[in-house]
Structure 1
Amino acid sequence: MTEVVLALVAGFLVAALGTPVGVSGAVFLLPLQASLLGVSGPAISATNLVFNAMSTPLALLRAVDVRARSSELVIVAAACVPAAVIGAYGRVTLFADPARFRILVIAVLAPLGIQLLVRAFRGPRAKDTGESPVVRAVPLALLALVTGAVGGTIGIGGGSMLAPVLVAVAHQTVQRAAPLALTSTLATSISGLIAYSLFDAFHIGTPPAAPVWHIGIATGLGGIAGALLGAAVARRAGERVLTLLLGTSATATAVSYLLQVSH
């Protein structure tokens, strides 16, 4: 019972803080699962995907509007299905070793934390109301495949990595990148959950691989409530404060993982 309550609170907090600045809270659940919630092995990644699968649809429905290109959404979703299977297989085999998994998490968390800190100190950019260029199908599919595979391995989906690349490299506005990133996260999470469950059932790779469902569902329910509160939190605390807080948390978590690897 205590684990469920902790999971609810954890999911609520990471979603409430992450949603307003466009960052998946799943990445911040990784250390909490191992230290507070008693989840271990590849099941950590799989349980994180339960959080994403539950908390992402609401955000996706709010992000997708008439400006979203349906063809791009389909390409991203289609690429993320095999990407999630590849990522899940990598997690139960190559990255089942805790040291290797920590290195992968550091490689994702450190750039994310630095990016958020830079954004916080630089301040918000002027809103871009221009028309984003069309992203070509093959580059978009390859990008979604790579980010989806890494996201499926760690258990964060692919959106947290896909969105910054779309904005910086493909010159998409944040409004255009958001539905693509959320589509990547949702498709990766659902496909990854199926893959992890099948790998566990057929004893492929290192166990445990199946998600700890009661923990994942609790974090997901907390995440839904936290996402709803996120907009109000942003208005009161300000996007810059939240961005600074998340950037500091991501960087500090990356440093703690780095210290574990060095020892």
Structure 2
Amino acid sequence: MYFPIANIEINPFIPPVVAFVISFFTSMGGVSGAFLLLPFQVSVLGFNSPAVSATNQLFNIVAIPSGIYRYIKEGRMVWPLTWVVIIGTLPGVLIGAIIRIQYLPDPRNFKMFVGLILLYIGSRLLKDILKGKRNKKGELSVDEKFQKLNKEFNSKHREVDKQLPKVIVIEFSLTRISYDFYGQEFKINTIGVMTLSAIVGIIGGVYGIGGGAIIAPLFISYFGLPVYTVAGA
């Protein structure tokens, strides 16, 4: 089948199958997988025009809702954090889209940009994995505590119709967001999150992703937030 905008000819079943496989695994970490789908479109399918970024953004809109529904149902959505991220990201995405069209229309330059972003994401993930291994010698991380508490809760209430403890928002202001998760309080700077979201939004607008794969590791590493609460945001 020929796709005129992408100027490629391919079996129409291949893109949805690849998108399904990618989103199946990446949704577990709170990202749509668009950061992996774009390299596939550019390098494998040969879709090199700026339209590939817009196509990837549309994939985000379709792939994300099902994952969000689960986090809402389980009470793991930190809504103040979500709204701050949205407010910061939207203008950044618009700026990024303009940069993509005007300054990065050349496929070679765009591939270099994509490569740098993937290198950053990969290095952050590797660093977090190595850091996690070192932490196992000492205290449990927040996420490990959650897993332990979650397992204990399920074993105690398996036969009882009870729900897991949910996120409790303690404070939401222009300067600070504070919430409780499994008995532990987390505090973050509102302006800092909004600024970071704007920067990530610009990068995401150029790349064609929502930015979750970039901002989630930063929330975990720099802000010290548990992945089980930032994934929904």
Same fold (TM over 0.5): yes
Counterpart of 2:206?
153
Q: Which runs of 4+ in 1 moved over 3 A?
A: 21-24, 35-38, 64-69, 115-125, 127-130
Counterpart of 2:102?
93
Residue 167 (str. 1) matches residue 175 (str. 2): no
Equivalent of 2:84 in 71, 75, 78: 75
Residue 4 (str. 1) matches residue 12 (str. 2): yes
Partners of 2:56 and 2:76 lie apart in 1 by 30
Equivalent of 1:52 in 48, 60, 66: 60
Q: Alpha carbons of 1:116 and 1:71: their partners in 2 closer, same or farther (altered >3 Å)?
A: closer
Q: Which structure has the highest strand share of the two?
A: 2
Partners of 2:48 and 2:108 lie apart in 1 by 13
**Contact 1:6–1:37 (8 Å) recurs in 2:** no
Q: How does 1:237-256 map to 2 (within 5 A)?
A: none
Q: Alpha carbons of 1:30 and 1:147: their partners in 2 closer, same or farther (altered >3 Å)?
A: same
Matched letter for residue 112 of structure 1: I
Matched letter for residue 16 of structure 1: F
Q: Alpha carbons of 1:8 and 1:81: their partners in 2 closer, same or farther (altered >3 Å)?
A: same
Residue 127 (str. 1) matches residue 145 (str. 2): yes
Equivalent of 1:109 in 111, 118, 122: 118
Write the deviation string for residues 15-67 of structure 1: whole angstroms up to 9, x where unpaired. 12322344442111123213444523111111111111100011112123545
Identical residues among aligned pairs (%): 31
Give unmatched runs, 5+ long, in structure 2. Answer: 2-9, 147-181
**Contact 1:147–1:162 (8 Å) recurs in 2:** yes
**Contact 1:79–1:144 (8 Å) recurs in 2:** yes
Q: Alpha carbons of 1:38 and 1:147: their partners in 2 closer, same or farther (altered >3 Å)?
A: same
Q: Alpha carbons of 1:132 and 1:151: their partners in 2 closer, same or farther (altered >3 Å)?
A: farther
* Partner-residue secondary structure (3-state), 1:133: strand
* Partner-residue secondary structure (3-state), 2:145: coil
Matched letter for residue 91 of structure 1: R
Counterpart of 1:19?
27
**Contact 1:60–1:179 (8 Å) recurs in 2:** yes
Matched letter for residue 206 of structure 2: T
Partners of 1:100 and 1:40 lie apart in 2 by 11
Partners of 1:116 and 1:98 lie apart in 2 by 27
Deviation at 1:106, TM superposition (A): 1.7
Partners of 2:215 and 2:191 lie apart in 1 by 15
- TM-score normalised by the chain length of structure 2: 0.68
Q: Give the structure, 1 or 2, with the largest relative contact order (CA under 8 Å, sep 6 or more).
A: 1
**Contact 2:57–2:210 (8 Å) recurs in 1:** yes
Partners of 1:175 and 1:132 lie apart in 2 by 14
Deviation at 1:138, TM superposition (A): 0.9
Question: Over aligned residue pairs, what C-alpha RMSD do you find?
Answer: 2.3
Q: Which structure has the highest helix share of the two?
A: 1
Partners of 1:169 and 1:118 lie apart in 2 by 13
Partners of 1:95 and 1:130 lie apart in 2 by 47
Partners of 1:15 and 1:107 lie apart in 2 by 22
Between Structure 1 and Structure 2, how many residues are aligned?
180
Matched letter for residue 152 of structure 1: G
